[in-house]
Amino acid sequence: MDLRGLDLAYVLHSYERTYINFERGENGRLFDDKGRDYIDFTSGIGVVSVGHGNRRLAQAICDQAHKIIHISNLFLIEPQARLAQRLVELSGFDMRLFFANSGAEANEGAIKIARKYGEIDGEVKRYKIITLEHSFHGRTITALKATGQEAMHTYFGPYPDGFVYAKSIEAIPELIDQRTVGVMIELIQGEGGVEPLDPGGVRELAQELRRQDVLLIVDEVQTGVYRTGHFLASNYYDIEPDIITLAKGLGGGVPIGAIMTRLKEIFKPGDHGSTFGGNYLSTRAALEVVAILHEYHSSGLLQQRIQLFEERLHELQRRHSHLFIQSVGIGFMRGLRVESDQIQKEILQRALDERLLLLKAGRNTIRLLPPLTITPEEIEEGFARFERAIEGL
C-alpha cells in the first residue's frame, strides 16, 4: 500500500488532504519526493517562523534531546524559567507565564484564569466572556464555543455556557453586564479573513474594560512572536492586555503554547496543569527561535523583508484588481480578498500547480503566512509563480 493508501486507511479524515510527500525543506522552500521545489507562503499555518531546516534550531533541539527531553513540572525546568523571563522582557509587560502545548490549550487556560478571577473578586460570580463574530480560538470544546462562527458549533454540543458574540469591537461595551468577566479578541483575525481590528477602537475598548474591571484577553496564537513585525501585535496596537496567549511560531514547529498574565498570583498549586507543557525540549526550542527572531528583528532585516513582501503583494493586487478586491493584513500576516469561494479555490489550486503554497481563510481570503526568515529571492520567486498561476483568470 502506498502512502496515500496508508493515510486513507488508518488516519481519520478530518483534513482536506493534499497528497504531496515533502521530504525536506530549506528556509522558504520545500522539496517533495520527486525533487520538485515549492515556495512556502504558509509556514505550516504560521508555525515555521524561522524557516524549514533551520540549523540553529535543529542543533538546539539535538543538544537538548541528548540531555533531557522531559521530566515533569513537579521539578524545576531551566529552559522554561529562562524562556518565561525572555518573553516577559520582550513583551515589556509585568507578567508571569504558564506553558501548554498548543494555542487551543493556551486559550483554555486563559478562560480558566478569567473565570477564577470572576469568582474570587466580588459578590456576584462573573463568568461571561465576550468574543467577536468571525473569531477563531481553537478546536477544544470550550475554545470552539469561544469561536464566533456558528458553522463551527454543529455536532459537538452541549457546549459550556457563558460566551457572547459581538459584531464589532464598538458593540462590545453594550454587551457587558454584571456577569461579564472578560473580552477575548484577536487583533488580526486569522481564520476569520486576516482582518485587522481598528487600532483606535481597540485602545478605546482597552481603556473601557480597565475602567469596568473586565479582563482583556488577547489571543496572539497567530499574531505573536514577530509575525506582525513587532514581538506582539499588542505592542503594535499599543495596549497592555490582562492575559495574552501564544503558540504557533513560538516553537518554530515544536509544539508549545503559552499564557502570559498580569494576574501573577491567580493560580495556586492544583488549579491548572499540563503533563507535557513547557518541558525541556519545547522550551529549549522556543528559546532558540526567540533568539534568532530577536536578532533578525534588531538588525532591521525583518522589516526589510516585510516591506518587500508588502510591495509585491500590493503590485499583484493592483495588476489583478479584477480578481483581488482588497489587500489586507499587517507584517507577515497577509491576505487577498476575492469575490467568491469558487475563485478562491481555483487560485489555490492553480498556485499549487505552480508549486506555490497558499492558504485559505474566511471572507473569501487568500492567506499568506510565509516564514519570517524568508529571503528576497524566495519572495520574488513566490510572486513570479503567483503571477503564472493567475494568468488568464
Q: What is the DSSP string of 116-164?
A: HHHHHSSSSPP-EEEEEBT----SSHHHHHHSB-GGGGSSSPSPPS-EE
pLDDT digits (tens, 9 = 90+) for 148-184: 999 999 999 999 999 999 999 999 999 999 999 999 9
pLDDT digits (tens, 9 = 90+) for 62-93: 999 999 999 999 999 999 999 999 999 999 99
pTM over 0.85: yes
DSSP 8-state symbol, 23: E
Long-range Cβ pairs for the range 319-328 (8 Å, 24+): 320/390, 320/393, 323/347, 323/390, 323/393, 324/366, 328/193, 328/194, 328/195, 328/196, 328/365
Preceding peptide of 158 cis, ω within 30°: yes
Do the strands 180-185 and 128-132 form a parallel or antiparallel pair, or are they unpaired?
parallel
Regions of the chain where pLDDT drops below 50: none
pLDDT of residue 121: 67
Query: In the chain, what are the domains?
Result: 3-53+300-390 (3.90.1150.10), 57-297 (3.40.640.10)
Whether the Cβ atoms of residue 244 and residue 212 lie closer than 8 Å to each other: no
Site of grid cell 524562556: 83
What does the H/E/C string look like for 190-257? CCCCCEECCHHHHHHHHHHHHHCCCEEEEECCCCCCCCCCCCCHHHHHCCCCCEEEECHHHCCCCCCE
